[in-house]
Chains A and B, each alone.
Chain A
């Protein structure tokens, strides 16, 4: 096991973690400000990926595909916020779970209706394909490296938006006291629609970016949704910083676990049994991580709510 392999796996972990952050950030914002648990967030990820794949296939431009992903997911997000989600803010979590579960059914089957059951493929743009050599002689796919950098840039932009802009102040105020900011003359309905569309756009962007290295298919959103839930439970619901830390933890644990746990078990077990045990354990590793964090801090690493 060489150092180069370890470095590559760490980069892979970072890459999946930062994409997970794009999902988790929207979820945690929506919960933090509106108090809503949104199961349909994975559907918005899927919508983004399908928009990107369809537009990129029609125009041949990956960049236009990304624009379509952002616009399509944001539009879908705004639409469901106006039609359905808006009626759920005052309801209990059970109703929110059910209504957004129903939205998943509608989105998944609707997408299957329009695009069929076969996966679509989104190609990595030519300028970003192929490997680059990093310092230390590590060969790494340029596209994945771009994903890490793009994700970090979006994360920085999001932190700036929340910490430094007028809309960010309104978002933070909305988390603390929604009646008060409504009384101060902020149009709370528009703010909510904006936040929901922002979260949807982030999810759609993640779907499009990841869609180029995996296949674009119906049902691609739900595994990511559940990972994003694990992420924000670890990070603390409502905290963007927690979402970032949690996403990187989950991404690294999952990637490194699946590569190294079988190797670790081979040190003291027969190879076949070690591979089996290691594979089983690595598929559970992030949930064990979550259980551990919860035992230590029931509201997550950065969670304030009781």
Chain B
């Protein structure tokens, strides 16, 4: 077992033990904080499939986060007001059932990722960064102008949605759901990275010419990766909206897209647990430095600068040493 695997297991154990302790000690706020960290981790794990394996620096992943959020918001809004979503040609009603909402969120964000990917993957490098950023902004302004669903103010959902067999209003039970989603996504990410598809995608990042020479199409590999990546981030968006019982255009904001990338880098690029460590650290820092100084973004910005300029490899690189060479 390598040091990195040990470290990953320790992180996972912490994610299970700390909230359980908080539950026993009756500190629901700590559980909420942990839920937030786990959901943001899930969003960044989604991005890490495109960025870590595929090398696609998407500065617009908040689009999928927002779409997931709005999928939950719109479905629950119609369900709580007993208003069908549409009547003709066939009746579609809103729902308060989480599995159904997740399905819609995943499909909607995957479709959006497919379309955005088709357009933006025609380019690469800086163009790709700027175009994903621009698409993010497009969705942001669209959400602001969409007054039927709250426009700039967003909309509130009164009661958290249901999951069969669980009481999602109990913080620890909702946390369990989110953690389960994160663990599944991590398992999927790990399997994907080792699969033939993941290897081909990795190769397409390093030497696209050779991948083309063996008869694979880098564009297609990247498009599939981008779509999967968007779908996972969309699921995180639906969970995030359920955590806050609120959706608003800020879920589409480009700062959030930037923060997703930041999570990955703080934790360590191309590490399975990089996004998790980064997101948890971010939430902890936000809470503690934010409580100590009103201007915590300055300190966070400076910390980030130091990490980017001098500390290659992020936190995991610091603790677990260099990534093992392939083979």
A: which residues have CB within 8 A of B? 31, 37, 39, 84, 87, 93-95, 97-99, 101-106, 108-110, 112-113, 222-223, 226, 229-230, 232-233, 237, 276, 279-280, 283-284, 287, 290-291, 294-295, 298-299
Contact = CB atoms under 8 A, between A and B. Distances in A.
A102 B131 contact: no
A283 B142 contact: yes
Interface of chain B: mostly helix, strand, loop or mixed: helix
Given A223-B137, A295-B119, 13 more contacts: A95-B308, A98-B262, A99-B308, A102-B302, A105-B298, A105-B301, A105-B304, A112-B295, A226-B134, A229-B130, A276-B147, A284-B138, A284-B142
A225 to B, nearest CB: 9
B297 interface: yes
Contact of A84 (B127, B145, B300, B305): B305
Contacts of A39: 258
A102 B59 CA distance: 14
A98 B295 contact: no
Contacts of B59: 97
A229 B301 contact: no
Contact of B129 (A93, A103, A110): A93
Interface in B258-274: 258, 261-262, 265, 269
Contacts of B24: none
Nearest to B306: A102
B66 to A, nearest CB: 14
Interface string B95-138: 00000000000000000000000011011011101110111011
A94 B261 contact: yes
Contacts of B304: 98-99, 101-102, 105
**Band of interface residues on B:** 35 or more
A16 to B, nearest CB: 15
A43 to B, nearest CB: 11
A105 B261 CA distance: 14
Given A98-B262, A113-B295, A298-B122, A287 B138 contact: yes
A85 to B, nearest CB: 11
Interface of chain A: mostly helix, strand, loop or mixed: helix
Most B C-beta atoms less than 10 A away, residue of A84, A98, A294, A299: A98
B86 to A, nearest CB: 16
Contact of A230 (B129, B134, B147): B134
Nearest to A237: B126
Interface in B149-191: none
Contact of B146 (A87, A98, A102, A280): A280
Contacts of A295: 119, 122
27 contacts: A37-B129, A84-B309, A93-B126, A94-B261, A94-B269, A97-B59, A99-B305, A101-B304, A102-B302, A102-B304, A103-B305, A105-B297, A105-B300, A110-B295, A226-B133, A229-B130, A230-B130, A230-B134, A237-B126, A279-B145, A284-B141, A287-B138, A290-B131, A294-B122, A295-B119, A298-B122, A298-B127
Interface in B49-85: 51, 57, 59
